Amino acid sequence: MSYLNPLHPPVTTAHRSQFSSLGGAVHGSSPSTFLSPFRRRLPQAPYTPSSKWRNATGRLNEIHSAITFDFIGYSRQGVPMRELSTRSANALSQMIQGAEDHVLAHTGLARITLRILWPGYEHIEWARSVELTVHGPITRSQLGAAISMNFARFIEKNRSETARSSEWHIGPNGIRFEHLVLISLCNVFEDVWQADVAVDLR
């Protein structure tokens, strides 16, 4: 629910920051300038475990670099999740920069945990395991498809949930899966990763 303060003029969408605290989880990252005026970064807090012991003894700084997703010829613009979820592997290899790269092979991990912390829906626990070596090392396009599938399920499952932030409300009259753009995947804690996402309301 938004509140209008009569002492100050309202802040328009054009003047809202593209900042996401998830960006702080990526070494040397900075907010992207999107070519589309309709594209805004989804503000997310990086995951931290609720256990004080794990929080104190776990690795909070990233060990692995962020994995980026871009169309060939573009940088830091992301790829719409609908493309990653519906296109064939052959089509994606011709569209996505480094689509066939084995992006997580160097980690030695068999799986990672993907967490979604959507603004206004932080009360919803979403942690899913993503297998990395089902048919050999996972490629960038396969990883993008797995992330997109998780976001599609998250939106589907929670579209009737009440959001604590009307700006980022999901559902038929709010943000839908076809609005989501995958920018990168960030290592935020041990084997936990989060997607850096933009919303494009075109």
Segments making up each domain of the chain, as ranges:
19-200
- Cβ 110 vs Cβ 132: under 8 Å: yes
Phi, psi of 90, rounded to the nearest 5 degrees: -65, -45
Pairing type for strands 67-68 and 39-41 reads: unpaired
Give the number of other Cβ atoms within 10 Å of residue 160's Cβ: 9
Cα 117 to Cα 49: distance, rounded to the nearest angstrom: 13
pLDDT of the chain along its 202 residues, tens only?
343 343 344 444 444 444 455 654 443 344 558 999 999 999 998 888 876 555 555 555 457 889 999 999 999 999 999 999 999 989 999 999 999 999 999 888 899 999 999 999 988 999 999 999 878 899 999 999 999 999 999 999 998 888 887 889 999 889 999 999 999 999 998 899 999 999 999 8
pTM of the model: 0.81
List Cβ neighbours of 30 (8 Å cut-off, separation of 6 or more).
Answer: 23
- Cβ 163 vs Cβ 123: under 8 Å: no
Cα 65 to Cα 182: distance, rounded to the nearest angstrom: 16
Report the amino acid identity of residue 156. Answer: E
